[in-house]
Structure 1
Amino acid sequence: MPQENKVLILEDDTSTRLIVSKSLAAQGIETVIVGTLAEAEAEVEKHSIALFLLDVHLPDGDSTELVRKLRISHPLVPVLVMTGDYEQNRVSEFFDLGVRDFIRKPVHPILLASRVRSFIRNYATERALFEANEMYQRIAHEKEQEEELAHYVYNHILDVHTSKIDGLDVAIRSSGRFCGDMILSAKAPNGNLVVMLADATGHGMAAALTIYPMASTFSAMVSKGLSLGAILKELSTKHNQCIPQNRFVAAILIELSPAENSIRVWNGGMPSLLMFGNDGEFTKVSSKNLAIGILPDELISTKMEVFELDKVRKMAMFSDGLIENKAIGGRNISFDEAYDIIATHLDDLQDLLGKMHDCEQFVNELNDHDDMTLAVLDLERLKEELKQVEQEEDVLPGSFEFDFVLTGASLNNDKFVFGLSELLASYGFNKEFCQKVFTVVTELLVNAVDHGIFNIPSNLKEEDFIAYLSMREEKQSTIAASDKVSIQVKWQEPTQTLEIFLSDSGNGYELNSINNDNELDDLAYGRGLKLITSLSHSFDYDEHTNTTHVTLEY
């Protein structure tokens, strides 16, 4: 390894070279001695030089051009010039080129060694600072790239898992690049609309990552047609699996059901939801639950507050950043005053966020604004939006029938139901109906394989999920060629209904779990059959033939 404290001496006078090299050697400084510009350029490439000590006039030219080259190739390494009295008029020229200092000839050995040693120490400090800055710049660049990717992925996930609904107006004002608030909405197979506003602990990327797992979970659970309580349970489970225990998510979940003329609300740790009646007056639906992540899954309350849909004209929900730490005219305003301001300024959501942002006061000098999200649900527009889906459903002409038999290892193929859904879509069935069929057939197939053929206990998935997966993998690896599931799909044009018949070669499954309505939101293993019955027009199981018969109305 080259030494880090070598000094290159460029001097054609033998006696000066000897004096300089010996004085530096006495201080433990190694030297590389050359007498021409050509020799100097060759040696620079071979050694790690900590300082250049140059004469001006050399046999093969002036050192001016060498200084220019060194400033480019070694910008931090100090350059000192040894010069006689008659060359003092060139001092300014050399300083402009980047020379750090001058050594007057004849050289004073002790003074020279002291100045060289001082410049070498300073060079080591400058180089360390430069390298530290380079590392910081590299880390900052990598962080910026990572944040750019994370920002794109986060926004893409939210966009993919959020339905564009007419009647749901949203305004967001983030305190930084990442927002710790999240508003999601999705239509369920039964025609209901489910909306969630969530606010994670903290700000920025940490808050965004805390809330991120909920996006895909919310979308998947709503598309399966799960009840609001079951969706809440799944959100809690996902959060507790993925997020540290000191990170929480306050949330409001709303389900609008035109068919039942109902609004279901669950508020966990969020500001009160404002509900405007037909007379324009508003009431508050305050939080009666803790934020998601505080309680273990089994203690989460799934009790909903229920209201009549036709008695409500509008609803407004928002994150706490909209009402906390607000002052007007130097006077702190209460939450009730903030609610009144919000209730009277819902005609322009962005303007309202700007007003509340301007009212923000801080308890320290950080001026740390909170994220603000405001969502307004116009129920008249939303009811028309949900009704429009039903109106767009055209009568499909003609009847058809398909028979499928899955045997042996084909039972492990999880792509079958996707193919069936795509087949129905090709016949003209709308997306919502295909989604419903997908959910029903998936649950029927899982029940038939897991419980009918594999004989896996129904409650194992809830009691020990790892053991369930282990048993399922073991059964899949030893599946027999005689194991089979038969599926028949029949479309009846006169009644516009789809019939599904499914049987398996195993022992069938128990129906106990679908007979206890009170446990729907509290048991994972009972949801499959419960879900099928909630989505289907009729459900029948013949234990003698081990055949399930389901009808779905289009």
Structure 2
Amino acid sequence: MPDTAIEYEFVDEVDASHTNEIQAVIASLNTGNTQLAHASICLLHVQVLSRSALAKLHQRCAEHVDSKLVLLTPDNSQSKLVMAYESGIEEHILLPVDKQLLTIKLHNLIREQNAQYYQAEKNQQLESILTRIQQEESFAQHVYQEISGNAINVNKDYYFLQRSAEGFCGDFLFDIRSPTGIRYVFLADAMGHGLAAALSMLPVINVVKAMAHRSMPISSIVHEVNRRLNSELPADRFVALAAIEVSPFSEKITVINAGLPSIFVADKNGELQECESKSLPLGIVQGNEFTIKPDVFSLQTMSSLLMYTDGLIEQENAHGESISKHGLKEALLNLTANEQPWEGIAEQFNKHTGEQELSDDVTLCAIDFDVFELEVQAEQAGDKREGNIAFTLEISGDYLNSVDAPAFVSKFLYAAGLEGKLAGKTFTAVAELYQNGLDHGVLELDSSLKNDTDGFIQYLSEREIALSTLSSNDCVTLSLSYSASGGVEASVSDTGKGYDTSKIEPDQFSMFGRGLALVKQLSESCVTNKTGNEVKVVIKE
């Protein structure tokens, strides 16, 4: 920077009558003016804008690229002034000029340069802050993904589109396969945006992972997620959730919609059905105020499923128009002739949004059940070993509260070389029988409590109390054997008083009784002894 903030140079011979007053103004401004700390102005005085003067002016402009260049001249030729500006001049002042007017103009230029300097300084500070935030977000993203176990692995039977309104996405999509082959797919939309919304998902993921590993029913998983969110999230936070359970051996698709837009399910004839939200978002209400009513479809008759968050249909374009649920449905109907219509939906959304910023996170997930069925069939092909494998597990006393019996069933299935449909049917049936033997045989819990949401909480409370009072005489015995010719034979017995299974009449939406009906559906034969404390089943492919 020059010694003085305002420089004054003669480009050619000038009229001395102008220079004295100009130099006096400059001297007064350069002396003791704290506003000049970030100003640099160069006044170039040209008497006549001749060809040679313009050439010199061009050279001076190249030498003072960091200064504000102001032309002082009595020459008011418009064409020559244009040439001066083309050389790099930013302002011009016609001479002669009043001393007071020149002072005001220079003051304004100083003020403008100061504003530009401070703005550039603020921009640099903001860029530094943004860089630091991006680095912290990148680290947080990594930690978050490790804790959450990462999002969905997009397989060929999924189409997945996601756009984030901020660095962190408050929508979360994850797919978990149980040891039995049951597939759970969850789409969650946490309230808000960014990291706060993303952190709301951690209780959901932890619960789902633990319960899916035990092949728990989707309704039980959603109830437990709601309970956990109510206990762990602030009162003003909630999560809208779509939960899908696809069971290859029962050939059922169970859909729960709690607060998301309508889920579209297409059958093999191209007809669309809507699964509207029948529950409040999770984390809002507890007890009997939270109810679930799932939609159940046959895997054999359904072709595909589309679920999405509200950001997809509420995002406005440049004209303030949104796609809307009706518009999305129309687009789906128009694209059903294609084998893969989902790319068309994504293209329409991108075209609709254009350069508009997203007002909310956007996620779309489409599942192709036709491909899913082919994968299940491929999994079922296994070896046919000769011989027999069997084991018996007897658990008593306090070990009933700590031993994970279904884990032993998984190990048996692995050792027997069983996979696919037969393994899934066996695990589900035996795990259900073991749970019944423990809860209703040994612990003598009333299963009808589970048909009411408030009663379900009471059921869990009574179960905790009963497990704390176990004695060494309380016992559940599990036996399993397998041969290629006879299939799986299993028996579960307990030391309880037994129960009358004939009195249980489950319906599609009840939370109890369906397990025994499912065991019978999965088994070639299912026999209960007279007292009801021993069940024997035979399961084949």
Gaps of 5+ in 1: 1-132, 361-366
Give the structure 1 partner of residue 481 of structure 2: 490
Mapping for residues 471-482 of structure 1, pairs under 5 Å: 471-473=466-468, 475-476=469-470, 479-480=471-472, 482=473
Q: Secondary structure at the match of 2:342?
A: coil
For 1:451 and 1:278, locate their aligned partners in 2 and report how far apart those are by CA, in whole Å: 42
Q: Secondary structure at the match of 2:314?
A: coil
- Give the alignment partner of residue 534 of structure 2, picking from 525, 543, 547: 547
Give the structure 2 partner of residue 10 of structure 1: none
- Give the alignment partner of residue 358 of structure 1, picking from 331, 341, 354: 354
Q: How far apart are 1:216 and its partner, in Å?
A: 3.7
Check the 8 A contact 1:225/1:535 in 2, yes or no: no
Q: Secondary structure at the match of 1:377?
A: strand
Mapping for residues 216-365 of structure 1, pairs under 5 Å: 216-256=206-246, 263-275=253-265, 285-306=275-296, 313-328=303-318, 330-335=319-324, 336-337=326-327, 340=330, 346-347=342-343, 351=347, 354-358=350-354, 360=356
The residue identity in structure 2 corresponding to 1:487 is L
Q: Secondary structure at the match of 2:200?
A: helix
Mapping for residues 67-216 of structure 1, pairs under 5 Å: 151-156=141-146, 158-159=148-149, 162=152, 165-187=155-177, 193-216=183-206
Q: Secondary structure at the match of 1:177?
A: coil
For 1:442 and 1:512, locate their aligned partners in 2 and report how far apart those are by CA, in whole Å: 17
After superposition, the C-alpha distances for 1:248-280 in whole angstroms (9 at most, x for unaligned) are 222333445667776554433323334556676
The residue identity in structure 1 corresponding to 2:528 is Y
Check the 8 A contact 1:346/1:352 in 2, yes or no: no
Question: Alignment RMSD, CA only?
Answer: 4.2
Q: Secondary structure at the match of 1:327?
A: coil
Check the 8 A contact 1:233/1:521 in 2, yes or no: no
- Give the alignment partner of residue 464 of structure 2, picking from 465, 469, 472: 469
For 2:291 and 2:404, locate their aligned partners in 1 and report how far apart those are by CA, in whole Å: 36
Q: How far apart are 1:324 and its partner, in Å?
A: 1.3
Give the structure 1 partner of residue 90 of structure 2: none
Are 2:370 and 1:374 aligned?
no
Q: How far apart are 1:203 and its partner, in Å?
A: 0.9
For 2:397 and 2:247, locate their aligned partners in 1 and report how far apart those are by CA, in whole Å: 42
Are 2:403 and 1:414 aligned?
yes
Check the 8 A contact 1:181/1:197 in 2, yes or no: yes
Mapping for residues 390-429 of structure 1, pairs under 5 Å: 390=380, 392-408=381-397, 410-415=399-404, 417-429=406-418
Check the 8 A contact 1:233/1:297 in 2, yes or no: no
The residue identity in structure 2 corresponding to 1:516 is E
After superposition, the C-alpha distances for 1:438-486 in whole angstroms (9 at most, x for unaligned) are 555444444444554455565587416345323422x24xx33x55443
Q: How far apart are 1:223 and its partner, in Å?
A: 4.9
The residue identity in structure 2 corresponding to 1:358 is G
The residue identity in structure 2 corresponding to 1:553 is K
The residue identity in structure 2 corresponding to 1:492 is S
- Give the alignment partner of residue 511 of structure 2, picking from 493, 504, 522: 522
Check the 8 A contact 2:499/2:531 in 1, yes or no: no
Q: Secondary structure at the match of 2:498?
A: coil
After superposition, the C-alpha distances for 1:160-219 in whole angstroms (9 at most, x for unaligned) are 685654311112112233221122334567766443322111111221222332224334
The residue identity in structure 2 corresponding to 1:239 is L
Check the 8 A contact 1:227/1:521 in 2, yes or no: no
The residue identity in structure 2 corresponding to 1:202 is G
For 2:301 and 2:459, locate their aligned partners in 1 and report how far apart those are by CA, in whole Å: 45
Check the 8 A contact 1:189/1:433 in 2, yes or no: no
Check the 8 A contact 1:166/1:385 in 2, yes or no: no
> TM-score, normalized by length of structure 1?
0.59
For 1:519 and 1:232, locate their aligned partners in 2 and report how far apart those are by CA, in whole Å: 16
Check the 8 A contact 2:396/2:476 in 1, yes or no: yes
After superposition, the C-alpha distances for 1:89-143 in whole angstroms (9 at most, x for unaligned) are xxxxxxxxxxxxxxxxxxxxxxxxxxxxxxxxxxxxxxxxxxxx9xxx9xx9899
The residue identity in structure 1 corresponding to 2:390 is E
For 2:278 and 2:410, locate their aligned partners in 1 and report how far apart those are by CA, in whole Å: 40
For 2:383 and 2:218, locate their aligned partners in 1 and report how far apart those are by CA, in whole Å: 29
For 2:134 and 2:461, locate their aligned partners in 1 and report how far apart those are by CA, in whole Å: 36
Check the 8 A contact 2:184/2:212 in 1, yes or no: yes
Q: Secondary structure at the match of 2:227?
A: helix
For 1:406 and 1:260, locate their aligned partners in 2 and report how far apart those are by CA, in whole Å: 29
Q: How far apart are 1:429 and its partner, in Å?
A: 1.9
Are 2:376 and 1:386 aligned?
yes
For 1:424 and 1:337, locate their aligned partners in 2 and report how far apart those are by CA, in whole Å: 48
Distance 1:509 1:204, change over 3 A: farther
> TM-score, normalized by length of structure 2?
0.61
Q: Secondary structure at the match of 1:253?
A: strand
For 1:548 and 1:530, locate their aligned partners in 2 and report how far apart those are by CA, in whole Å: 13
Check the 8 A contact 1:194/1:255 in 2, yes or no: yes
Distance 1:444 1:464, change over 3 A: closer
Q: How far apart are 1:422 and its partner, in Å?
A: 1.9
Distance 1:338 1:218, change over 3 A: same
Q: Secondary structure at the match of 2:489?
A: strand
For 1:527 and 1:149, locate their aligned partners in 2 and report how far apart those are by CA, in whole Å: 45
For 1:413 and 1:244, locate their aligned partners in 2 and report how far apart those are by CA, in whole Å: 32
Q: How far apart are 1:436 and its partner, in Å?
A: 5.5
For 2:227 and 2:514, locate their aligned partners in 1 and report how far apart those are by CA, in whole Å: 15
Give the structure 2 partner of residue 45 of structure 1: none
For 1:503 and 1:262, locate their aligned partners in 2 and report how far apart those are by CA, in whole Å: 29
Check the 8 A contact 1:230/1:521 in 2, yes or no: no
Distance 1:264 1:536, change over 3 A: same
Give the structure 2 partner of residue 27 of structure 1: none
Report how many residues are paired. Answer: 401
Q: How far apart are 1:326 and its partner, in Å?
A: 0.9
After superposition, the C-alpha distances for 1:288-317 in whole angstroms (9 at most, x for unaligned) are 543333443534443344556566544432
For 1:265 and 1:419, locate their aligned partners in 2 and report how far apart those are by CA, in whole Å: 30
Give the structure 2 partner of residue 106 of structure 1: none
The residue identity in structure 1 corresponding to 2:498 is Y
Check the 8 A contact 2:392/2:478 in 1, yes or no: yes
Q: Secondary structure at the match of 2:283?
A: coil
